[in-house]
Structure 1
Amino acid sequence: MKILWKGLGTSLMMVGITIGQTLWGGTWGVYPAAAAQPLQTMSDFAAHPAKESILLGLQKGYIWKYPDGRFYPDKQIVQSQFVASLVAIRGVKETAPVPELPVGHWAKGTYERAQKAGILADVKIDPNKLLTKEEAAQLVFNAWKPYRGVKMKGYTHTGALITWGWMDPAPAGQPKFREDLPVSRGDAAKILAYLWKDKWQLEMGAKWAEEFHRSLKSTNGMLTGEVPKGDNLLYLNVKVYTKDGKVFGYENNGEFRFPLSSVKEISFMAINKIDSSNAALYFYTQFPKLTRENKTIQFSRP
């Protein structure tokens, strides 16, 4: 898994280092310029439940230790820390004005990137604010709107994120969707790991979907195509639905050939082999135009 993420990790690590430098000097003294500092220093999280998520974030450069080399996984995360991580994962470079923060403010550069990316929509800007689950979940849905759409209706941000599986529910004996509970840095690391992996798989799913799309040919009354070879993480599947009610399936590296007049619909799907999450889903219903419709799973399921 870590090998698969290596290329994307390098570029985002550089963004993370820049953000770390921007935030250095804040009142909570976080995110030094050495965002890619050695991972062997795990004195305060070696036995923590979020250890693997923390290690992933440190390796990829979207979370940071404090200047003393510790991560403090049980310390409540503040808004600017979480925003900085979301900006780093998104790889945002462009900016938009944030008048709430004065010129020269230690967090202004990061918040301007977050503003441009829509991460701060309907959020009260307060870099030092200790985040609750509801506040963190809202930032997540804002950041991930371009990828997975909007949260499910009828849920708070907390309830929707817990239902999606990216936030832990409240401890046993409490209401499952308690929005007021604090979010620790360890909690945040686990949430951010889900985002990192989801962004990576969505990008890979789109890549393989594009390769499949380029393979489709409609010539001399025949429709042909090839399923990409893919990779070790994603299972690729193409289904050809014919007008007589039959369905033909093809997997990684498969090829097909059908009379164009017999084809009713084609679907392309990329699924994560580990957790069965959806990385890409496209449908073709217009022939011979081969126009496709993106149906990749969204937060709000129909």
Structure 2
Amino acid sequence: MKLIGKTVWTSLLLVGIAVVQNGGSESEVLRLHVAEAAAKSAPASDYANHPAKDAISHGLQKGYLWKYPDGKFHPEQTVTQSQFVASLVAIRQVSEKESVPALPAGHWAKDIYERAQKAGILANVPVNPNKLLTKEEAALLVFNAWKPFRGEKNPNLSNTGALITWGWMKAAPSGQPKFREDLPLLRGDAAEILRYLWTDKWQLEQGAKYAEEFHRSLKIVNGNIVGKVPKGDGDFMIIAMFVTNSNGRKGFLNNQNFNVPMSQVKYMTFFVTNKNNSSDAGAFQYTNFPSFDRIDKGQLFHTPRGENK
């Protein structure tokens, strides 16, 4: 393969990681091992004082971000489509594939793009691995990748506006329209967005675990709803809230047992909240007793979390 500038080489490095995991030529494997070893041994001089330093370090540690072969991250360069797609695929841990006709057989990006296609990440996205992304183009990829987790965004906002309102993307610099979509997305800013995604996926997985534990505890005993709120850990506040027929409230927190007369209950809600950032990690509503049918209320992506800080 012929390398044409740093942008293509970086894309090759990112996509190549997935190729190695699924088999590849010995020369490819050797080249990628050499590049990866060089990146790990090099100093973090180009992002040590960058505002996104922690996000970059997190992504490199977790394996969804990669350095250039020169051992630097280059946080002030614009992220390419293939770089961002590769990170989303890594965070989603996509293994299955679907054909991407826009890329010919043997194309260096085909493996990763086929995974992205299967995961729905490329919906309404023109395939162009070397394209330098604007904020709006990156935001569309984010919402595509996150539909299985958070559902739909606020329809009254652009993808950029929704992410900024959500708190996952920085607003435009002072003096410019806040939701300006055409600005380039720099690699440092991309690292911060991707850390939000990684954290959200992790916390949703924890929330689902606690929701199942709670659900299994529910019983009807002598006409009462009986169960226990999971103990959880120090990162999460877990709440079971009963709304009575008179619109009263009875709440129970981490590790508390409850015994509530079913005849008094209008509905019950279950929440898991990340205490570190007040974001929701799970939300369910129970309206039918004694069947304990539940509705997942945590899928909406347009609940504002305040301004980006």
Query: TM-score, normalization: structure 2?
Result: 0.86
Cα separation, partners in 2 of 1:20 and 1:224, compared to 1, 3 Å? same
Q: Is the 8 A contact 2:284 2:295 kept in 1?
A: yes
Cα distance in 1 for residues equivalent to 2:109 and 2:167: 30
Per-residue deviation, 1:241:
2.1
Matches within 5 A, 1:1-302: 18-19=17-18, 21=20, 34=36, 38=40, 41-296=43-298, 298-301=300-303
More displaced 10-residue stretch of structure 1: 215-224 or 283-292: 215-224
Cα separation, partners in 2 of 1:170 and 1:244, compared to 1, 3 Å? closer
Cα separation, partners in 2 of 1:203 and 1:37, compared to 1, 3 Å? farther
Cα distance in 2 for residues equivalent to 1:119 and 1:103: 20
Cα distance in 2 for residues equivalent to 1:88 and 1:183: 19
More displaced 10-residue stretch of structure 1: 262-271 or 195-204: 262-271
Q: How many residues align?
A: 286
Cα separation, partners in 2 of 1:136 and 1:223, compared to 1, 3 Å? same
Which runs of no fewer than 5 residues in structure 2 stay unpaired? 1-13, 305-309
Per-residue deviation, 1:154:
2.0
Q: Is the 8 A contact 2:17 2:32 kept in 1?
A: no
AA aligned to 1:194 is Y
Cα distance in 2 for residues equivalent to 1:138 and 1:262: 45
Query: TM-score, normalization: structure 1?
Result: 0.88
Q: Is the 8 A contact 2:47 2:74 kept in 1?
A: yes
Which runs of no fewer than 5 residues in structure 1 stay unpaired? 1-14
Cα distance in 2 for residues equivalent to 1:266 and 1:35: 53
Cα distance in 2 for residues equivalent to 1:237 and 1:35: 46
Cα distance in 2 for residues equivalent to 1:32 and 1:199: 31
Cα distance in 1 for residues equivalent to 2:200 and 2:44: 26
Q: CA RMSD in A?
A: 2.7
Q: Is the 8 A contact 2:135 2:160 kept in 1?
A: yes
